[in-house]
């Protein structure tokens, strides 16, 4: 069973529908006990980092999440679900994250430009991945494939070896990570058409 964690933030139904389209059974749950019983965990998220951490804590999800990660069950983080894995975020002050991946969540700098054009923040729309390390869930995803992004902050890992892909938007930034049983993406696979659905299918088929 794939458990999609419902902590009050994120377009959970679109993630669930993405799994359904590729023939994978996924349950949206607000029950930490269901998370502990699940074979695979998905942590989506849209919104502000401190609000999400507060909701996870109030929902009783933090210890179950850390436990299933420690136990080596497949974990997929999406957008804010990537950022929450890190030590801390500078969004609306300094806030502690789950601390699974050492590093910080930082805002895109102001005044970025690319090819002579000023870039807006948030970074919104389609952009390419440069694959540095290929996790199993990226099987069938070619280097340079386009995925859909919506974010103003990005992750800066202390250990570069966890970086799976990078993307250029004024600066080069880490757009996904891979460490053992953990894969997490800044982009939205559920909104990224065929390539995104391939990632969801690969994740759903992991043993």
Q: How far is CA 124 from CA 5, 79, 116, 148, 186, in A?
A: 24, 12, 18, 8, 11
C-alpha distances (whole Å) from 114 to each of 59, 129, 148, 170, 175 are 41, 16, 18, 5, 18
Active site residue 52: no
Decide if 84 contacts 97 (C-beta within 8 A): yes
Closest by CA to 78, choosing from 145, 5, 26, is: 5
Instruction: Please report, for residues 48, 62, 104, the alpha-carbon distance to residue 55 in angstroms, rounded to integers and kept in the order given.
Output: 11, 10, 20
Catalytic residue among 52, 91, 123, 190: 190
Parallel, antiparallel, or unpaired for β 146-151 and 123-128? antiparallel
User: Residue 107 — pLDDT band, cuts 50, 70, 90?
Assistant: very high
**What is the pLDDT averaged over residues 153-166?**
98
Domain boundaries, the chain: 2-204
Whether the predicted pLDDT of 136 surpasses 90 = yes
Q: Which pLDDT belongs to residue 207?
A: 78
Q: Which of 24, 52, 79, 174 is catalytic?
A: 79
* pLDDT above 90: percentage of residues in the chain: 92
CATH no., domain 2-204: 3.40.50.880
pLDDT at 45: 86
Q: Is 95 a catalytic residue?
A: no
pLDDT attached to residue 62: 97
Residue 188: active-site member: yes
pLDDT confidence bin for 6, thresholds 50/70/90:
very high
Q: 3-class SS at 146?
A: strand
Across 21-39, average pLDDT: 96
């Amino acid at each position: 069973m794939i458990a999609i964690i419902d902590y009050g933030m994120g377009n959970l139904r679109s993630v669930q529908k993405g799994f359904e389209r590729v023939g994978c059974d996924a349950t949206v749950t607000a029950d930490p006990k269901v998370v502990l019983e699940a074979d695979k965990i998905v942590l989506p998220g849209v919104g502000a980092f401190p609000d999400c951490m507060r909701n996870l804590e109030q929902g009783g999800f933090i210890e179950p999440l850390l436990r299933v990660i420690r136990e080596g069950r497949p974990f997929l983080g999406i957008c804010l679900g990537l950022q929450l894995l890190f030590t801390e975020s500078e969004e609306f002050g300094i806030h502690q994250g789950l601390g699974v991946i050492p590093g910080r969540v930082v805002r895109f700098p102001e005044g970025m430009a690319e090819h002579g054009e000023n870039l807006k923040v948030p970074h919104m729309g389609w952009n390419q991945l440069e694959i540095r390390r290929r996790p199993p869930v990226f099987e069938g995803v070619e280097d340079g494939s386009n995925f859909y992004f919506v974010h103003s902050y990005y992750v800066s890992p202390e250990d570069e070896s966890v970086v799976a892909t990078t993307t250029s938007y004024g600066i080069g930034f880490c757009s996904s990570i891979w460490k053992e049983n953990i894969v997490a993406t800044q982009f939205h696979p559920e909104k990224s058409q065929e390539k995104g659905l391939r990632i969801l299918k690969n994740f759903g088929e992991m043993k």
